[in-house]
Amino acid sequence: MKKPTPVERAAAAIRDGRLVVFPTETVYGLGADALNEAAVRSIFAAKGRPADNPLIIHVADRSAVSRVADSVPPAAERLLDAFSPGPLTLVLRARVDVPRTVTAGLSTVAVRIPRHPVARALLEASERPIAAPSANRSGGPSPTTVEMARRALGEAVTCYLDGGSCEVGVESTVVHVMNGAVTILRPGAVTAEAIRRVLPGAEIATPGGTTALPVRGTAPSPGMRHVHYRPRAAVVLAESPDRVIPAGLERPIALIGLDEDVAVAASRNPGVRDVVVRGAADLDAFARSLYRWFVELDDLGVATILAFMPPESGVGVAVRDRLERASGGRRIS
Ligand code: TXA
Ligand code: MG
């Protein structure tokens, strides 16, 4: 008999109620059969995730969305047409048979159709909706390579699918769609401007800061209450590269940001020793590199990561959001 492929082995694991780490275009996910209550509980255990933080259900295609969502309003249909498969998650009314463990007891469910070929192959081969948070221990940075996931989760998972480095690098845009009102609960590569182009008439609420989101008529994404995306090093934010690094920051220090910003910062601080520099050529590269830098800089024993904030355009909005959360709001003025 033919030896099973890695995807076939992983699909069998999903059907058996076991955990699988798999790549998506955003970050690696820790997946299990979304309709198997015990399997879903093991996701929370492996991650150390609080039970009140619901999971995203990944499905293969449009027809499978209605397997978990009770209704798909017209605005959600239009978003699916425009951005799925891709880095978009829709929060819709849940079907009653979706396990409460997945939704953390909410009446809504988060659904996403990933576009990474390995994720799609796994969904097709397993023929199951797959609940999957990012494949990190709760609170830590999301893995963008299989090695990062393996280091975070180790033996708690036996099946790892390698799909290379993630193309986007930050988690999907989470959008709540209900009664014509559209709320972006978590910014990602599908931007508010792009959503506005698809839904020109709609009222769109966007995240407005580091903690509670200004959401009318909906609860903010439960996950946003929890500490997120943090390396061990302290993250400190800077809006402008044009200044002297304060003496009080614990060393060693790393500077991260767009190439042009870290270059300016390094030239303004010629005497500073023990500084590691990580720069990205553009916003997409910044998003792709962010979590890998966190892990690398922790490995180097860096105590403080001074992050130069990118502009608030495109995926820059998502990068800023993750940096805000990683820093707990600490910044130099
Ligand atoms: O890109 C991604 O979305 C990755 C890949 C693996 O798909 N997944 C991911 O999952 O980032 P996770 O669990 O790390 O983040 C899911 C976010 C959390 O903030 C959670 O609170 C929110 O989605 N969420 C899930 N279900 C929700 C619901 N019913 N209502 C509001 N927010 C929800
Ligand atoms: Mg996560």
pLDDT in tens, 106-162: 999 999 999 999 999 999 999 999 999 999 999 999 999 999 999 999 999 999 999
Average pLDDT over residues 262-284: 89
CB distance 264 to 214 below 8 Å? no
> In whole angstroms, what is the distance from residue 190 CA to residue 312 CA?
14
Q: Is 85 left (phi over 0), alpha (psi -120 to 50) or beta?
A: beta
Residues 6 or more apart in contact with residue 247 via CB below 8 angstroms: none
Mean pLDDT of the chain: 93
Q: What is the pTM of this model?
A: 0.95
If you measure from the C-alpha of residue 241 to the centroid of ligand 1, how many angstroms do you get, rounded to a whole number? 33
- Work out the number of other CB atoms within 10 angstroms of the CB of residue 270: 6
Q: How far apart are CA 90 and CA 42, in angstroms?
A: 24
Name the residue of 58, 89, 90, 322 to mutate for ligand 1: max ligand atoms within 8 A of Cβ.
89
Whether the Cβ atoms of residue 332 and residue 306 lie closer than 8 Å to each other: yes
Atom of ligand 1 nearest to the CA of 136: 14
Cα–ligand 2 centroid distance for 133 (angstroms): 5
Q: What is the rounded distance in angstroms from the CA atom of residue 34 to the CA atom of residue 194?
A: 30
pLDDT for residue 8 is more than 70: yes
Cα of 239 vs centre of ligand 1, distance in Å, is 28
Q: Kindly state if the Cβ of 53 falls inside 6 Å of ligand 1.
A: yes
Expressed in angstroms and rounded, the spacing between residue 68 Cα and the centre of ligand 1 is: 15
Per the CB < 8 A criterion, the answer to whether 40 and 102 are in contact is yes
> Ligand 1: does its nearest atom lie under 6 Å from the Cβ of 54?
yes
Helix or strand run (H / E) with residue 125: helix 117-126
